[in-house]
A and B are shown apart, each in its own frame.
Chain A
Amino acid sequence: MNAAGTTRAVGGKPSQNGGNRLRTIALLLLPATVLMLVFVAALVILLSYTLRPSVTVAHPLTLNAYARFLSDPYSRLLTRNTLVLGAVVTLGTLIVGYPTAYALARLRNPGLVLVVSLALFSPLLVSVVIRAYGWLVLFSNKGLINFALERLGLIREPLRLLYTPWSVDVSLIHILMPFMVFPIYSVLRQIDASMEEAAEDLGSGPWQTFRRVTWPLSLPGVIAGVQIVFSLCISAYVSPALLGGGHVLVLAPAIYQTTIDIDWPLAGVMTLALLLLSLLVLLAVNVLSRRIFAHEQTGRAGTAPASSRHPAIYGWLALVAAFMVLPIAIVVIDSFNSVAYSVFPPPGVSLRWYEHLFTAVDWRPALRNSLIVACSASVIAVGAGTLAAYAMARYVAKGRELVRVIFFGPFLVPRIGIGLAFFILMLKLRLYGSLLSLVAAHAVITLPFAAAIMSAAFVAVPRVFEESAMDLGAGPARTFLTVVVPQVAPAVLVSFVFVFIASLDELETSLFLVRPGNQTIPIAMLTYMFQYQDPTIAALASLLVGLSVLAVAAVVVLIRRGRVGNSLAASVSQT
């Protein structure tokens, strides 16, 4: 049947297979590499600007900007505040997040697990701007919190909650909570119940069992959570800018302000300082964790995690779920407010802000921009990430760690810094203000997430399926499309949704790349909020929340039915 096929390969040049392999790896890594080159180019240009005397003067090279940063007491204040903010928020998310992950991991009822995880993770689907706005409403002088405290007779005068450091802390703890809960939860789920049972069997009480067995085993999750939360926290822009009201002085908003003040060299140095803080903490935690984990600890498949029906578990989860949902719920309530300022309870119900939403501002250009950018960026990031992840999972053995570190670079550099770097690069390329610049930036930022999700998916597909397909006569491309892709289809869908939402909600980087009048949705909302603080934004937010809920429901239903993989496979295999 295949006699003709074999004639091509007579002779046996020893390098032929090796050459094919290299070509395959190169092709698979190419799209991701192009994205990374853009990223590196942007960073190099940013670095070169920190060595300039000023924005307009390129020569001679000078360390002037570094000297200014180091000698200025204001920069020192910014750095100290940033560190304190990062520490407080990281500790806060850990204190709330660990018990939450612990309780969630012990739930057995699948319906309940779904509801609680949706409550915990759904805030991720809602724009940072909207979540910050929710806290704005909650913390305002006539907001829910002051109202409740007055009703309880605890205070007579409204407390000044807004524009204080701790209002920023609370809103960031809320925003970053899922990033702490999720890694801890996934590690806790891999700890077999028999571990704790063994400890108890050996005479250790519940507290001792936790301290000496569960906690040490869950540390990898804690470490991952701490690293992610800290690095996201110190580069957050919206919360300090909106809830700090100019009183919370940290690096991220300062970088944006310094860029507007056309002191790019100093803004560049501040970015480096932020990056350095982020890397130092990452490194410190890594060194610490290496000392803790002298032995490899990995979860095995098929473990049966412990379960519990203790009322405290339900109580705590309800409390945290309420905390997570409250700022979003209050935004929806606020959208039906009849007056132009936030007050709880609203004096009346009206739809005026929905009317105002469609008459006052034309949101359509921003919406259109956001959709175009999100669609293009997700296709590019998921495509490049999928191919690169496949190359890493199947072909790259020795340099895998290196390749991984390189592709995860954009995750390590604070978003606000990527924004500044891309801003300068795009100016040079005369692409500033174009949607292409946004697409490029968003694809670079989301590449690590897409690659991470897809790597995990590819690792789970046994190699023997590919060998089997090749054995049956399918070439590498056909094998990839008809055998590998169908099996990772759910992961492709998940990473697509993830990247799409991340792009739709991206703000810190886009801030630098949009021209006034040619904005994306989150930036248009932020701009509106800086100008008018009326509930129009709440009406818009409510509509977006509704859309997100529908999208998530659709994905959940699709994955549950298991149709995604099958339908995709059927359509491909019919070719």
Chain B
Amino acid sequence: MTERVDGGAAGRPAVVQLEQVTKRYGSVLAVDDLSLEIRPGEFFSLLGPSGCGKSTTLRMIGGFERPSAGTIFIRGRPSNDVPAYKRDTNMVFQQLALFPHLDVYENVAFGLRAKRVASHQIGPRVERALELVALGPFRRRAVRSLSGGQQQRVAIARALVNEPAVLLLDEPLGALDLKLRLQMQLELKNLQRRIGTTFIYVTHDQIEALTMSDRIAVMNDGRLEQTGTGREIYDRPKTPFVAGFIGDTNLIEVVQRAPGRYVTPDGALTFALGDSGDRTTVSLRPERIRAGAPAKACAERTAGRVVDVVYVGADVQYVVAAGNTRLTVKTRGDQVFAAGEEVELGWQPSDPVAVGARR
């Protein structure tokens, strides 16, 4: 599946481009014919469940794995055979990998020394990088004496001090507790806006990807499912997988009855979708479905019976049987309907999205 980048922000050449990249380990296909373009200055996320090939993709961009087929371009240069230490990319590792035998300053200075930067420049550049992550006063501390969040920032400063064309982040917040995680998400996003460096961010957390990214590539089973902004991916998913992975949704199998009119096999639910082939799957978000009185204002309506009620904090979630289909419906506020009650459901014509037949 190839994703063409639509005009918009283009015009500037891609900073990283993957052209039909495939990675095999023996008979296992980790990444399957993946093509991507990442533009300068964008916060780009690779999102998918564990084992979907997102980390492998990042490691190929960083130079730790070699593609079995296809080409990786960095700043327009084919880079498959450029070793990691000669690439214009730097990585923040999931395990951070701060060198335990060096202090904060020396960890950050490591890359500059390795690249034989003149020694009078090293000091100022390290200080600048430490300022960027607000760690100036900690420069002579031992790495293991820092908190998790501080270690995280050292890892970021160490990767940024080399002023890479792209910063690669491999689930860098995975080891942090939830509160710190949310705080670091904001810090990372702010940092990226300030310095304007391209970030490629790997995560399995959809909320994290939606919060931080300019664009997201959703991967599954080594393949690219969809690329787009958070909004596009949430509102206009192109595959059942994307619809189900980003947020909760109802996935309903339908067949075409009349041009543009699709129904469930038992005829209980009908949808206006435009031409989507003979059979397809419909994604309908639980929070888009209105129940009871509000449903009357909707263009599309159906009736059902409440089978189950679940409290989810501020929301109430109902499972409603409409014919043979069970729909999850999410409403704000207190419980209005009891189990067993008949209820009218409704939605706007633009809410159901055809996401194609299941693979």
With the chains together, A375 CA to B263 CA distance in Å?
A: 86
With the chains together, A566 CA to B101 CA distance in Å?
A: 6
Task: Enumerate the 4 nearest inter-chain pairs by beta-carbon distance, A residue then B residue, closest first.
Answer: A472-B111, A474-B114, A468-B97, A470-B84
Would A472 and B114 count as touching, CB distance under 8 A? yes
Would A1 and B163 count as touching, CB distance under 8 A? yes
Q: Inside 8 A of A474's CB, which chain B residues have their CB?
A: 85, 110-111, 114
Whether B158 is near chain A, meaning CB under 8 Å from some CB there, is yes
CB proximity to A under 8 Å, residues B99-131: 99-102, 106, 110-111, 113-115
Whether B86 is near chain A, meaning CB under 8 Å from some CB there, is yes
CB proximity to A under 8 Å, residues B271-324: none
A-B contact pairs, 12 of them (CB 8 A): A2-B86, A2-B88, A9-B81, A10-B78, A16-B81, A469-B85, A471-B87, A473-B111, A473-B115, A474-B110, A475-B83, A565-B101
Set A6, A12, A469: member contacting B71, Cβ < 8 A: A12
Q: A1-B115, A17-B66, A469-B110 are in contact. Are A475 and B97 (CB under 8 A)?
A: no
B186 CB, nearest partner CB in chain A, Å:
25
Set B62, B66, B81, B97: member contacting A11, Cβ < 8 A: B81
Would B79 and A6 count as touching, CB distance under 8 A? yes
The residue on A at minimum CB distance from B89 is: A471
Judged by DSSP, the binding face of B is loop
B165 CB, nearest partner CB in chain A, Å:
9
Interface size in chain B (residues, C-beta < 8 A): 40
B61 CB, nearest partner CB in chain A, Å:
11
Would A465 and B111 count as touching, CB distance under 8 A? no
CB proximity to A under 8 Å, residues B46-91: 62-64, 66, 71, 74-75, 77-91
Q: Inside 8 A of A469's CB, which chain B residues have their CB?
A: 85, 99, 110, 114
With the chains together, A473 CA to B86 CA distance in Å?
A: 6
A32 CB, nearest partner CB in chain B, Å:
25
Q: A10-B78, A12-B71, A573-B113 are in contact. Are A465 and B97 (CB under 8 A)?
A: yes
A residues apposed to B, CB below 8 Å: 1-3, 5-13, 16-17, 20, 462, 464-465, 467-476, 478-479, 482-483, 486-487, 565-566, 569, 573
With the chains together, A57 CA to B63 CA distance in Å?
A: 62
Q: Inside 8 A of B71's CB, which chain A residues have their CB?
A: 12
Whether B93 is near chain A, meaning CB under 8 Å from some CB there, is yes
Would B97 and A2 count as touching, CB distance under 8 A? no
Whether B226 is near chain A, meaning CB under 8 Å from some CB there, is no
Would B99 and A465 count as touching, CB distance under 8 A? yes
Q: A6-B79, A573-B102 are in contact. Are A464 and B163 (CB under 8 A)?
A: no
Known: A12-B78, A470-B84, A471-B64. 11 other contacts (CB 8 A): A6-B82, A6-B86, A13-B81, A464-B97, A469-B110, A471-B90, A472-B114, A473-B85, A473-B86, A475-B83, A573-B113
With the chains together, A33 CA to B101 CA distance in Å?
A: 32
Q: Inside 8 A of B115's CB, which chain A residues have their CB?
A: 1-2, 473
Q: Inside 8 A of A470's CB, which chain B residues have their CB?
A: 63-64, 83-85
Question: Residue among B62, B77, B114, B158 with the most chain A CB within 10 A?
Answer: B114
Would A462 and B102 count as touching, CB distance under 8 A? no
Whether B17 is near chain A, meaning CB under 8 Å from some CB there, is no
Interface string of B182-201 (1 = CB under 8 A from A): 00000000000000000000
Whether B211 is near chain A, meaning CB under 8 Å from some CB there, is no
The residue on B at minimum CB distance from A567 is: B101
Set A17, A483, A486, A565: member contacting B81, Cβ < 8 A: A17
Would B85 and A9 count as touching, CB distance under 8 A? no
